[in-house]
Structure 1
Amino acid sequence: MMMGTADEIVKAPEKGPVFMEDLPEEEQVVAVVLRKKYPQFAQQHNGVYMQQDAEECWTQLMYTLSQSLRSSESSEVSGTVKDLFGIDLVSRIHCAESGEESSEMESVYALKCHISQDVNHLHEGLKRCILPAKILGKLIVWTCKARLAVSVPNPIPGLKSELEKVSPSLGRSAIYSKESQYATAMFFRYLTVQFVRFFWKRESNQKAKILRKVDYPLELDVYELCSDELRQKLQAPRQGPSGNSGEPSAITHEAATSSDKKVQLTGIYDLVAVLTHKGRSADSGHYVAWVKQESGKWIQYDDDNPSPQREEDITRLSGGVHLFS
């Protein structure tokens, strides 16, 4: 037992780390198939597999699972992955130079927190409009206290970005502004947010890292990203069961999917996992995972060395001189 606490010491794995090449063939299948399907993860340098972008790997895995997992009750592809992680966005794309405007629907598995000199908090990063960046950074996952059904008829003053593409009317590349909003009847159990800390620096022709400290909460409230109409729907549930307790209503997965029970919407998510990258280079460094247990305790997974963490340790993972990203 640890002195001064009733918590049991976190036990290290019984077996030490094993290189993938030394694993049985059946256990190498995932890595082999991943590299075959997505060749970028098979890139090598001096005969050794190169370190790859964790967010890109996450996105490809989510997409592959969404296309291949099938329901146990039928042979049709199941929408489980999208129901759990998918975020449907309706985007308005406008070119101020040519006046062209279009809209598109897209499904993503993570939101981007773009970082600039004016961004000090996660909410500011989600709202800011900056130029696109080559991405590698921190992945953070929140879990919703109540499944969130979103219906947004009006534009949200956030989730903005810019992109460069060829304009048919101008016959050349032009800058387009892109403003996204949550799509109608969207349900997602987990909300993943990526801190964009790497961008392509043209002067040096390499990826550069943004070391600015950006705070984020243990409890994420997306209320400000919702339309006025949706905010009105969220007000009553956000007061709690008694209507004035101030505590958000909780709801089970069964209740969320049952047709005879009303889903209580709060727009509040609990932080449950963080994946950090330590180091200055996008092609090297070290990944560390921080995961919240069912008991509410946090565990840091640094390769085969798990260790207990406090909540204040998690909120310190905001970058800056600590070189966490």
Structure 2
Amino acid sequence: MMLKLVQLNHLLKPDTDLNNIGLKDKSTVVLMGAAEGMSIEDNIKPEQQQKFIEDMTPQEIAKLYKEKTGRDIPCGLINLGNTCYMNSCLQSFKRINELKDYLLQNQIPSEMTQEHQVTKAMQNLVGQMNQTGQAVKPYQFLTTLFNAFPQFAEQSHGSFKQQDADECFTAIQSCLERATPYKDSEGKQSQLIKDLFEIPIEVELKNLDNNEEPPVIKEDIQKKLMCQIEAEPPTNNMIEGLKSALVTQVEKLSELDNQNHLYSKVSKIKKLPSYLAIQMQRFLWKDAVQIAGSKASSVKILRSVAFPRVLDVYPLCTEELQKSLDMGREYEQKQKEENDKKKQDAFDHWKKEQEEKNKNFTHDSKVQWKLFKESQNELEIKQHDEQLYRAHGQGLDAGNYELVAVITHQGRSSEEGHYMSWIHSSGDDWLKFDDDVVTEVKTEDIMQLKGGGDWHMGYYFFYRKIELL
């Protein structure tokens, strides 16, 4: 057995005379030893090893953060010259757990198409972001994106031009769709992006000029919904804007008399996607004639349009889908009543315990309830996150979606200004990604991104379907 004596952080030599080192009563001397053939470090459990944060590598910090919180460490992306639009899209894609896990756990097919190259570059970037506590420079992804979509590489005055986040998101999404095949829960070959974002839409066309022509019903496929912002009647909230975009009028050639007629076009959701992407119609194009002395450009609609944390899309669905959602909504109401009763019972029990512990415990019912809620906060956050992010396909649909990411824009045109992403973390905690600067914010800060001024306003919204167990 090899033994070492340590006193006051100093190793004592084998021939040290203990009578000459000034040992006093209750002095601390540590005897350290290990069996032959083993180091002392081999006998120390990982949790016994201590290391200061400032002495840890970024990779070690990221690993520790994951172990302690169960979440990936926030990692910003450095702006490479008007690339905030791209950074915001990438952070939003990373919030899609199913996509992030796919990229971290699967090999991208070896085809050397541009779609596969973009997806491979994104896979490398997500892996790098997951392993470091420092901001990352997305050079490889930017170069690959430029090669696949040269319009994003356009320059002005020696630097890259600002681009529209919607165009960037759609371009990346199209690449991912072609390069992320997988087998669904039934073992059938499918496409991940299709299953996550695709929205089957039932479209009814009715001739407004000729009642004798029967309505035509067809199916359309979309990957996002538009939130139309109207001046008259004014659009005040997201659900009004969604309804406005789904009910329109179009002029088309009639198959009945081969003449142009005005048709009503009513679109309804046939099947709920896992994620609902919603684009707020913040920009309108004005041509050169409308803007005297200037070229065609986009102008921003600044109107305040409120959006919910939990979005109920039941009014936007077909009657057939609504009937299937009714079961989930009835179960949801029953579950709420049961949970309210359980919470009241828990409160009564908690209050009794507090009164027994403290004779001077407050009699103010509002204060009591507030203190009880605070005591339950950690449990409620855990239950909320488990419900929001559990794998889909295990529960009932009620038509509800919860907000998990927002891309905002600040400025007066899509060709200028600044984009940021706001990503849900846990409970009421969110992360604001201003390129490489990451800041913690709360849900109440997110709800202020409704527009109405020059502050950042929501442009792209990502909602995740809530399933009930």
Q: TM-score, normalised by structure 2?
A: 0.50
The alpha-carbon deviation at position 43 of structure 1 amounts to: 2.9
Instruction: State whether residues 240 and 246 of structure 1, in contact with CA within 8 Å, keep that contact through their aligned partners in structure 2.
Output: no
Alpha-carbon shift at residue 299 of structure 1 (Å): 1.4
Q: Deviations over 1:252-287 (max 9, x none)?
A: 755x43xxx6x3122111111111000001210000
Distance change >3 Å, CA 108–CA 237, structure 1 → 2: same
Asked if 1 retains the 8 angstrom alpha-carbon contact of 2:430 and 2:442, the reply is yes
8 Å Cα contact 2:76-2:433 kept in structure 1: no
Alpha-carbon offset, residue 189 of structure 1: 1.8
Corresponding pairs, count: 273
2:225 to 111, 118, 122: 111
CA deviation string 1:125-165 (max 9, x = no partner): 11115xxxxxxxxxxxxxxxxxxxxxxxxxxxxx2234566
Q: What is the aligned partner in structure 2 of residue 69 from structure 1? A: 180
For 1:3, the equivalent position in structure 2 comes to none
1:241 equivalenced with 2:241 (yes/no): no
For residues 326 and 161 of structure 2, what CA distance do their matches in structure 1 show? 49
Secondary structure class of the residue paired with 1:124: helix
| Contact kept? 2:81, 2:159, Cα under 8 Å | no
Partner of 1:322: 454
SS of 2:328 mapped into structure 1: helix
- Aligned counterpart, 1:268: 400
Alignment correspondent of 1:191 = 276
SS in 2 for 1:322: coil
Residues 1:87 and 2:174 are matched in the alignment: no
Question: Relative contact order (C-alpha < 8 Å, sep 6+): which is higher?
Answer: 1
Whole-Å separation in 2 of the counterparts to 1:36 and 1:102: 42
Shift of 1:106: 2.7
Structure having the larger proportion of residues in strand: 1
**In the TM superposition, what are the counterparts of 1:214-225 in structure 2 within 5 Å?**
214-225=305-316
Aligned to 1:149: none
Q: Percent identity?
A: 30
Q: What does residue 242 of structure 2 align with? A: 126
Seen in structure 2, the aligned counterparts of structure 1 residues 93 and 315 have a Cα distance that, compared at 3 Å, is: same
Residues 17 and 43 of structure 1, relative CA distance in 2, 3 Å threshold: closer
Q: Which residue of 2 aligns with 1:213?
A: 304
**1:69-114 Cα shifts (integer Å, max 9, x gaps):** 12279xx963221222221112223453576964443322211110
Matched, 1:179 2:179: no
Q: Corresponding residue for 2:90? A: none
One-letter amino acid of the structure 1 residue matched with residue 146 of structure 2: R
What SS does the corresponding residue of 2:426 show, helix, strand or coil? coil
Alpha-carbon shift at residue 44 of structure 1 (Å): 2.9
Is 1:54 aligned to 2:165, yes or no?
yes
**Cα distance, 1:14–1:178 mapped onto 2, change above 3 Å:** closer
Contact 1:237 1:243 in 2 (8 A): no
Distance of aligned partners of 1:170 and 1:320 in 2 relative to their CA distance in 1, 3 Å threshold: farther
Report if aligned partners of 1:85, 1:190 keep a CA contact under 8 Å in 2: yes
Q: CA deviation at 1:62?
A: 1.7
Name the aligned partner's letter for residue 192 of structure 1.
Answer: A
C-alpha spacing 1:92/1:31, structure 2 compared with 1 (3 Å): farther
Greater helix fraction, Structure 1 or Structure 2: 2
Q: Which amino acid aligns with 2:408?
A: T
Q: Is the 8 A contact 1:163 1:175 kept in 2?
A: yes
Unaligned runs of 5+ in 2: 1-72, 84-120, 122-137, 342-383, 458-469
Which one has the largest radius of gyration?
2
Q: Secondary structure at the match of 1:239?
A: helix
CA spacing shift, 1:97–1:61, aligned 2, 3 Å: farther
- Provide the residue aligned with 2:57 in structure 1: none
1:200–1:246 CA distance, 2 compared to 1 (3 A): farther
Q: Distance in 1 between matches of 2:337 and 2:74?
A: 46
- The alignment's TM-score, normalised by the length of structure 1, stands at 0.70
Q: Distance between the aligned counterparts of 1:312 and 1:303, measured in 2?
A: 22
Deviations 1:295-314 (A, max 9, x none): 54111111222112122211
SS of structure 1 residue aligned to 2:190: coil
